[in-house]
Structure 1
Amino acid sequence: MKKFFLPALLAAALLAAAPASAQKKVTPGSSKAATTSYALQPQLSTLGWLGKKVTGEHNGTMQFREGDVLVRGSQIVGGTFAVDMNSLKVEDLKEQEYNAKLVGHLRSEDFFSIDKNPTSTFKITSVTPLKGDAKGNNATINGDLTIKGITQKISFPAKAGVKGGVASATGVATIDRTKFDIKYGSKSFFESIGDKAIMDDFTLSFNVIAKK
């Protein structure tokens, strides 16, 4: 059976059509200015994963269940997001047998233990302005990611903005799976695993849309 390591957040077209406003450093509740909650639009938002191993890689998708984005003026200042782990899909394996085996393995205790942990969450704790990014990102998003009931702090660059009653963010987050007790196939813990090793880092690519 082919093995993978997860890759586990957060629309680009909107941002391309209307460039996001520059972010100022903000944390939820850090100002007396009014904060408005925008509702996440799961049907318009996307979340993809990519995991690599010595001999190849696997990729797929998951779906947001619900969430909200906190907005102050034209700035994104916070937010919470829930991901339905039962929605996890593998896209690169076209043969049904191999696809089902990999999905089953990802659902198991070796990886995400989805039966016991059907939801993963992310909470934004602060947003910091980012300038001069070669990919056009204008903010660093900091927050708490919870997978398998384990919470770790993460940071990642994003292109974020608010316009016309729509808050949006797009980017790629790199996650160290071993910090969430996902050690299967990790050379950091199993030195003699050789070419069966799965990389510790996986990526989550996201396009998030929230409306007022």
Structure 2
Amino acid sequence: MKKRITTIFTLAALTIATVSCKDKAKEATTAEVQEVKTEASASQKYIADAAASSIQWKGNKPGGSHNGTIKIENGVLSANGDKIESGSFLINMGSIVVEDIPADDKMNGKLLGHLKDADFFDVEAHPNAAFEITGSTVAEGKTMLSGNLSIKGIKHNITFPVSVTNDANGLTLTSETFTIDRTKWDIKYKSKSVFGDLGDKFINDDIELKITVKAAKA
């Protein structure tokens, strides 16, 4: 009987581990800064609709997570059909919102203040982040978009999968959910890879992101 119970728990643990691995978003490929693409003569220019564009974020820690959104302040994209040729957008870090805690709960304000202070995004010193497109390729049937991501004045080139739709109403670029390692942008608060004595009081290095940019023809 004891052996049977042990086997059941082992199978359950393996099932949970398998599901967790399957559901975990892939980390964006990170490389050195690359040259920014310029607009090609045959490209159509699109202006981002700030009200309809945003970035969803999620941070995880043992026993829980927090999530919310950040606004895209402005941006421009150039595309030839469904192929993104070049572009960039500015991210308003002061617009960060926490969605998993009610807005009128004091813990919402506490977390929001912490995310904006120097432990995390240091919004006072670095009010904006930015993304500049450096190229796109197709791999295994997916469009892989590359660009220089600047956070807290630190730039790294990242590559992640996106889908692009282009119709009479304009262009929509939507990324799959992907992760970045926050420590590469000097966000080290309670990072287990930086501080070795945190026990289970750490916050995962990976931040999940999902980008949506809606844009109209210029």
Distance 1:127 1:161, change over 3 A: farther
Give yes or no for the alignment of 1:117 onto 2:121.
no
Give yes or no for the alignment of 1:207 onto 2:216.
no
Q: Provide the rounded CA distance (Å) in 1 between the counterparts of 2:42 and 2:169.
A: 15
CA RMSD of the aligned region, Å? Answer: 1.7
Alignment equivalent of 1:68, drawn from 66, 76, 89:
76
Alignment equivalent of 1:105, drawn from 114, 120, 128:
114
Considering only CA atoms, is the larger Rg found in Structure 1 or Structure 2? 2
Match for 1:57: what amino acid? S
Q: Provide the rounded CA distance (Å) in 1 between the counterparts of 2:136 and 2:165.
A: 11
Shift of 1:78: 1.5
> Counterparts of 1:9-20 in structure 2 under 5 Å?
none
The size of the alignment, in residue pairs, is 180
User: Is the Cα–Cα contact under 8 Å of residues 45 and 209 in structure 1 kept in the other structure?
Assistant: yes
Distance 1:61 1:211, change over 3 A: same
Give yes or no for the alignment of 1:52 onto 2:56.
no
User: Is the Cα–Cα contact under 8 Å of residues 51 and 57 in structure 1 kept in the other structure?
Assistant: yes
Match for 2:72: what amino acid? F
Shift of 1:30: 8.5
**Partner-residue secondary structure (3-state), 2:190:** coil
* 1:154 aligned residue: 158
For CA contacts below 8 A with separation 6 or more, give which structure has more relative contact order. 1
| Greater alpha carbon shift after TM alignment, 106-115 vs 94-103 | 94-103
* 2:45 aligned residue: 37
* TM-score (norm. length: structure 2): 0.77
Q: Provide the rounded CA distance (Å) in 1 between the counterparts of 2:42 and 2:192.
A: 48
Structure having the larger proportion of residues in helix? 2
Q: Provide the rounded CA distance (Å) in 2 between the counterparts of 1:123 and 1:103.
A: 27
Structure 1: 5+ residue runs without aligned partners?
1-26, 133-137
The CA deviation string for residues 7-49 of structure 1, in whole angstroms up to 9 with x for no partner, is xxxxxxxxxxxxxxxxxxxx83486x42232100111223110
Give me the identity figure in percent: 39
User: Is the Cα–Cα contact under 8 Å of residues 44 and 80 in structure 2 kept in the other structure?
Assistant: yes
Distance 1:87 1:29, change over 3 A: closer
* TM-score (norm. length: structure 1): 0.79
* 1:81 aligned residue: 89
